[in-house]
Amino acid sequence: MEEEGLQAELLGKKREGEEEEKLSRRLWEENRKMWKVAAPGIFTRFSMFGVTVISQAFVGHIGSTELAAYALVSTVLLRFANGILLGMASALETLCGQSYGAKQYHMLGVYLQRSWIILFGCSLFILPIFVFTAPLLKLIGQEESIAETAGTISKWFIPVVFSYAWAFTLQMYLQTQSKNFIITYLAVVTLCLHLGLSWLMAVKLRLGISGVLASMIAAMWVPVIGQLGFVFFGGCPETWNGFSVLAFSDLWPIVKLSMSSGVMLCLELWYNTILVLLTGYMKNAEVSLDALSICLNINGWEMMIAIGFLGAAGVRVANELGAGSAKRARFAIVNVAATSFIIGFALFTFFLFFRGRLAYIFTKSPEVATAVADLSPLLAFSILLNSVQPVLSGVAIGAGWQGVVAYVNVTCYYLVGIPLGVVLGYLFGFLVKGIWMGMILGTVVQTIVLLYITSKTDWDKQVILAKERINKWYTKEPIQGNESIEDQQSP
């Protein structure tokens, strides 16, 4: 009996060891797949954000009116366009991710071309805002000199807006195949090129703001040309079979999904802009705006990490749903969320500890530094929330829930967060802290709702829905060479 008990104990320990080894292998494999998407995504976002910051630094040395006008165009108009186009491009994560998981490789190229058509049309729709910036700003009471300068600057941003239509879609297309290493290399080239060109054109050649903006346009288009070259000349042999007339078919369902994606992400990306606008109406707004802009600048850099994990969550969930594995999709969600939260908690602790000392990187004013120290706990909590909420949005993109999450965002951000912020800031006298607290509470509510939706989701049913979506929009690849119809089987 003792021998049997000993054998049972040894067998139990062996099984535990095998399970632990199996889990460690799964974790290793899942993290390898996740970081292949997240790391290039984070670095690329840092690069794009860095181009704007470098431009702002050079413009700031030209004149205060130019700086104010550039800040107005880049933080309001460009963010508006960025939010719409990035959101609409994220539909490609759902479609390409699920098709890649289902091994319908040729459909990725078709979806990419459909997204180019849709985003180019959307860019044309946005264009009048950049053409008529000056009269629009004067209409809402902006100072004439700033409005005129902003009107000139905004026209330089038109090529940047059109570059987004290509850049965002190519990034989504490449990252769903875990081939976005090319994006990382081009991001390094972009930053170095922009820094060098801006110095040459603005400082050495004394071309002023025109030199800085011309450098920015070049920096935005270099990665687009590089990625197009990579795709066209053999970088994606399985998924790119050349231009196809199929791109013009079944556009309306893609338009609807793109619009849902656009609304969903726009509402998130514009949220902080509302915070700046509300703060601008307060007494002693200059110090408040300076302190808030420093906090939002730091938050913006950290948000690039969050967007990288958003992309990783979307790709991993879409790939596994397309491959028909609900279990691996759940495992991917837990892994991305845990990794992002650990990084967010480390940054949360860091910013709580250093508080206002970081402000002296951006300002020499003790008054502004004190205001930043006062806002730092709210900045730290925002960073902590950023480590969870974007991952949940990424899960929604991967599963194709953009329409549902858009309604959640409208309710939590604009019917809960902003009204609470106005009440706390203006009626209860907490000023900018009150506005920010209200908006954080809106994000908390949104995060709780998304956590509930994600935890209660039947992922086996999501696999079925993904398969239905894939089959519904599946189009057979054109026959090439001696390939017969029988060789092309629909899934």
Same domain (yes/no): 225, 247: yes
> Does some domain include residue 14?
no
Angle (CA) 348-307-255 rounded to 5° is: 150
Q: What stretch of H or E contains 107?
A: helix 106-131
Same domain (yes/no): 209, 275: no
Same domain (yes/no): 192, 278: no
Q: Is the pLDDT of residue 148 over 70?
A: yes
Q: How far apart are CA 187 and CA 181, in angstroms?
A: 10
**Rg for the chain (alpha carbons), in Å?**
24
pTM above 0.85, yes or no: no
Same domain (yes/no): 209, 304: no
Q: Is the pLDDT of residue 122 over 50?
A: yes
Average pLDDT for 369-375: 79
Same domain (yes/no): 195, 223: yes
Same domain (yes/no): 124, 234: yes
Alpha helices in 231-270 (DSSP H): 251-269
Q: What is the pLDDT of residue 224?
A: 93
Q: How far apart are CA 244 and CA 221, in angstroms?
A: 24
Q: What is the pLDDT of residue 278?
A: 62
Same domain (yes/no): 219, 282: no
- Token couple for 155: 């026209």
What's the chain's average pLDDT? 81
> Does some domain include residue 264?
no
Q: What is the pLDDT of residue 485?
A: 29
The residue out of 223, 258, 293 marking a domain boundary is 258
Q: Do 302 and 347 contact (CB within 8 A), yes or no? A: yes
Q: What stretch of H or E contains 391?
A: helix 389-399
Same domain (yes/no): 463, 374: yes
* pLDDT 10s digits, 9-19: 544 544 555 55
> Does some domain include residue 372?
yes
Same domain (yes/no): 290, 212: no
> Does some domain include residue 482?
no
Q: Do 198 and 58 contact (CB within 8 A), yes or no? A: yes
> Does some domain include residue 46?
yes
End-to-end CA distance of the chain: 56
Same domain (yes/no): 190, 328: no
Q: What is the pLDDT of residue 144?
A: 82
Give the domain range for residue 203.
34-258
> Does some domain include residue 480?
no
Please count the CA atoms within 13 angstroms of the CA of 22 that sit on its side-chain side.
6
* pLDDT 10s digits, 265-303: 676 666 666 666 665 555 555 566 667 767 777 777 788
Q: How far apart are CA 337 and CA 431, in angstroms?
A: 33
Minimum mean pLDDT range among 98-112, 256-270, 460-474: 256-270
Q: What is the pLDDT of residue 9?
A: 52
The residue out of 202, 224, 258 marking a domain boundary is 258
The DSSP secondary-structure symbol of 76 reads I
Domain tally for the chain? 2
Reduce the DSSP state of residue 237 to 3 states and report it.
Answer: coil
Nearest to 187 by CA among 44, 391, 82: 44
> Does some domain include residue 393?
yes
Q: What is the pLDDT of residue 448?
A: 92
Q: What is the pLDDT of residue 482?
A: 38
Q: What is the pLDDT of residue 390?
A: 86
* pLDDT 10s digits, 441-477: 988 998 999 999 999 999 999 989 888 887 776 666 5
The residue out of 258, 293, 322 marking a domain boundary is 258
> Does some domain include residue 22?
no
Nearest to 109 by CA among 224, 241, 252, 226: 241
Same domain (yes/no): 322, 423: yes
Q: How far apart are CA 142 and CA 149, in angstroms?
A: 11
Please list, residue by residue across 287-320, b when 16 or more beta carbons sit within 10 angstroms of its beta carbon and e when fewer do.
Answer: ebbbbbbbbbebbbebbbbbbbbbbbbbbbbbbb
Q: Is the pLDDT of residue 490 over 70?
A: no
Q: What is the pLDDT of residue 5?
A: 54
Q: Is the pLDDT of residue 168 over 70?
A: yes
Average pLDDT for 307-316: 88
Same domain (yes/no): 190, 52: yes
Q: Is the pLDDT of residue 401 over 60?
A: yes
